[in-house]
Amino acid sequence: MAGYRKLGRTSSQRKAMLRNQVTALLNNGKIVTTEARAKEVKKIAEGLIALAVKERDNFDTVTVSCKVPQKDKDGKRIKKEENGKKVTVFDTIEKTIKKDQPSRLHARRQMLEVFYGIKEVPTENKKKKKLTREIDMPKKMFEEIAPKYANRNGGYTRIVKIGQRKGDAAMEVLLELV
């Protein structure tokens, strides 16, 4: 017996489908799919959530200083003349950033093996491409999903049967985060 369901697909198609559904589940909170697919997606999703819960506080806070060019009201860099050359004027600012420890960095990279890139398009101003933004799924896992399940020992997802699909009578289920 195999340790997983083949779902009537080649291995590359199956992996792509499962990655897509796991990404959709963790981004949206719920998906509608067949029962067999849901059971496979549940295994992968629960493993990723457990990984995020384990590594959620495993980082150092570091203060860094960096030089940023000064800009005028139009967004252009301010330049001044020094020794006959035009030189950009810089400000020094300090930022605090989160620096992952090695185990959290490894967990982040394991998550990136599963997740597909997601672009969020705003509901208004749909014609402006510059307003679309990339969603950082590992960051969402560590900052939103992991704290929600910090006190829970497994069982992060739930399968609710909806009924049979009209076309092929396959059992459809709602797979959602608890």
Same domain for 96 and 70: yes
DSSP letter, residue 4: S
Looking at every residue in the chain, the average pLDDT score rounds to 93
pLDDT, average across residues 119-136: 81
How many CA within 13 A on the CB side of residue 102? 0
Among 40, 70, 100, where does a domain finish?
A: 100
Same domain for 143 and 67: no
Structure tokens at 13: 């198609």
- The answer to whether residues 152 and 52 touch, using CB atoms and an 8 Å cutoff, is no
| Of 24-28, 78-82, 115-119, 125-129, the least confident | 125-129
Same domain for 155 and 108: yes
Answer yes or no: is pLDDT of 112 > 90: yes
What type of residue sits at position 4? Answer: Y
pLDDT band at 37; cut points 50, 70, 90: very high
Same domain for 110 and 96: no
- What was the pLDDT predicted at 50? 97
Which of 66-80, 124-138, 163-177 has the highest mean predicted lDDT (pLDDT)? 163-177
